[in-house]
Amino acid sequence: MYIDGHFIGADDRDGEPVYNPANGQVVGQLPHAMPEDLDAAIAAADRAFQTWRWTSPLERSRILRSVAGMIRDRVEDIAYSLTMDQGKPLTEARMEVMGAADHAEWHAEECRRIYGRVIPPRDPSVRQTVIRQPVGVCASFSPWNYPLNQALRKICAALGSGCTIILKASEDAPSAVVALAQMFHDAGLPAGCLNVVWGVPAQISEHLIKSPNVRKISFTGSIPVGKHLAAMAGAHMKRVTMELGGHSPVLVFDDADIDKAATLLAGYKGLNAGQVCMSPSRFYVHESVAEEFGEKFSKAFGTRVVGDGMDSATTMGPLAHNRRVSAMTEFVSDATAKGASILTGGKAMSGPGNFFPPTVLMNTPDTANIMREEPFGPVAPITTFSDVDEVLSRANALPFGLASYVFTQSLRTSHYVASRLEAGMVNVNHFGIALPETPLGGVKDSGMGSEGGSETFDAYLATKFISETTA
């Protein structure tokens, strides 16, 4: 843990082992925060806020930029540990690390541009200004699928806006977050501005959210947990940013470039073994091109090499947890019982590690569980459609609204569906999501608020109106 500028080991605290998902071996031991540790973190963050809030944006920017440089310098070490406790192939781990450096750098630039405004007064002796001030101590909860990137976004948004932060990242993949705390420490971030704790998630979130000193909550993870935390935050009138699950529809129209769509989608679906909230996960393909698409997509996706992320031949790693393997098995057996056929994959792989192969299901009925529940794994269900309004209503029928993908050569179709899809993000004919300079967020049950883009600081700033007169 990292509290008030000090790294804290297990000592006599409870803790839990950290596993390598590729072979089930224990790679470390994580301490659990005691209530006194959480109180110490809250007190440190509150104390640090009194100074950090008035620290020049230039200095905040300098620290974030310095961390960006360190992330790049330490890429090999961080990526190695990330593959060891999270499982993704080393090349993907490096991509995550380099992406995190870009996020830190972008926040370093953008935090110097937190502006207010002047409102023309009715009376010339009056001056009306609007300023934006940091809300205070933030409690943030980040997940295991992109442990470095997701934690870094929350830390940079909080620190860049002048807030301080207590982060509880996922106990399943902690190494990258510990490395992050070390880099902020090495960059000279004042003690208490960033605190990292681990433990029993429900106990930590309840303790932090109920504290009157904590003013903002940010969570990335599953919808049920997000709703629970948002309700608790609401009871204490605290701001929330929620980046929750999705079930991203893919609409492949009859005029699409099928080769391009199949190749791009196979690449994107395989990222992090499908454990991505924005992963393409419901494939609606026009009936006249469905067979061709199914064949090409399953050929490209099915040939991913599944194995230990440390092996350079591996192009898809294990699932982070064995509970995800059981979930995939259940999705496939439910879908096939309801009429879907398996084009590739379909069965959990034997041996140690949480491996499930790339799997494609054809003619999957809308009643199959996988068409209604987020798979969060390497299973891709395909169904067909015949009409644009029909597919829009099926795509919009679920309570999710995070990402969506469209493949068409028609500007008319693109414009029509992009403006009607109920989603926080729409990509047409390519993938361009989660860049530091673009907003990431969902609608409906997929959450509220944005991370990234010029919106990134909004949830961390309170608006204050000041009216002064010289009369």
For ligand NAD, the binding residues (CB under 6 A) are 141, 143-145, 170, 201-202, 205, 220-222, 225, 228-229, 243-245, 277, 323, 374, 376
For the bound state, the minimum distance from the C-beta of residue 413 to ligand NAD, rounded and expressed in Å, comes to 29
Of residues 144 and 457, the one with the C-beta less far from ligand NAD: 144
Which CB, 52 or 356, lies closer to ligand NAD? 356
Q: Which is nearer to ligand NAD, 167 or 189 (CB)?
A: 167
For ligand NAD, which is the closer residue by CB, 246 or 345?
Answer: 246
E-only strand ranges, 101-229: 117-119, 126-134, 137-141, 164-168, 194-197, 214-220
Residues sharing a CB contact under 8 Å with residue 113, sequence separation 6 or more, in sequence order: none
Q: For the chain, give the number of residues.
A: 471
The helix/strand/coil state of 26 is: strand
Of 105 and 374, nearer to ligand NAD (C-beta) is 374
Query: Catalytic residue among 156, 163, 193, 277, which?
Result: 277
Cα–Cα nearest to 193, from 2, 421, 469 = 2
DSSP string, 438-452: S-B--SGGGEES-BS
Which candidate in 105, 110, 243, 422 is catalytic? 243
156, containing H or E segment: helix 147-161
Separation CA 471–CA 199 (nearest Å): 57
Tokens read off for 79: 């990526």
| Residue 3 contacts residue 41 (beta carbons within 8 Å) | yes
Q: How far is the CB of 400 from ligand NAD (least distance, A)?
A: 9
190 sits in the region (left: phi over 0; alpha: psi -120 to 50; else beta) called beta
Cα–Cα nearest to 286, from 397, 409, 175, 183: 409
> What is the spatial distance between Cα 290 and Cα 382, in angstroms, rounded to a whole number?
8
Q: Cα–Cα distance between 440 and 435 in angstroms, integer? A: 8
Phi, psi of 123 (to 5 degrees): -110, 125
Residue 285 backbone dihedrals phi, psi, to 5 degrees: -120, 135
Chain residue at closest Cβ approach to ligand NAD: 245
Supply the minimum distance, in Å, between the C-beta of residue 443 and ligand NAD.
14
Specify the residue, 357 or 375, whose C-beta has the smaller distance to ligand NAD. Answer: 375
For residue 251, the minimal CB distance to ligand NAD (Å) is 22
Smallest distance from ligand NAD to CB 211, Å: 14
The CA distance from 447 to 370, in Å, is 21
Distance in angstroms (rounded) separating the CA atoms of residues 102 and 444: 29
Is residue 277 flagged as an active site residue? Answer: yes
Supply the DSSP symbol for 270: H
The single-letter code of the amino acid at 174 is: P
Which one, 241 or 314, has the nearer CB to ligand NAD?
A: 241
What tokens does 44 get? 């440190």
Q: Which residues pair with residue 18 across a beta bridge?
A: 28
End-to-end CA gap in the chain: 55
Distance CA 415, CA 280 (A): 20
Other beta carbons within 10 angstroms of residue 36's beta carbon come to 8
Least CB distance to ligand NAD at residue 433 (A): 12
- Min dist CB 298 to ligand NAD, Å, is 24
Residue number with CB closer to ligand NAD (96 or 243): 243
Q: How far is the CB of 468 from ligand NAD (least distance, A)?
A: 43
Helix (H, G, I), strand (E, B) or coil at 442: coil
- Closest to ligand NAD by CB, 112 or 210: 210
Relative to beta strand 15-19, strand 26-31 is: antiparallel
- Least distance to ligand NAD from the beta carbon of 143, Å? 3
Which residues have a catalytic role annotated? 243, 277
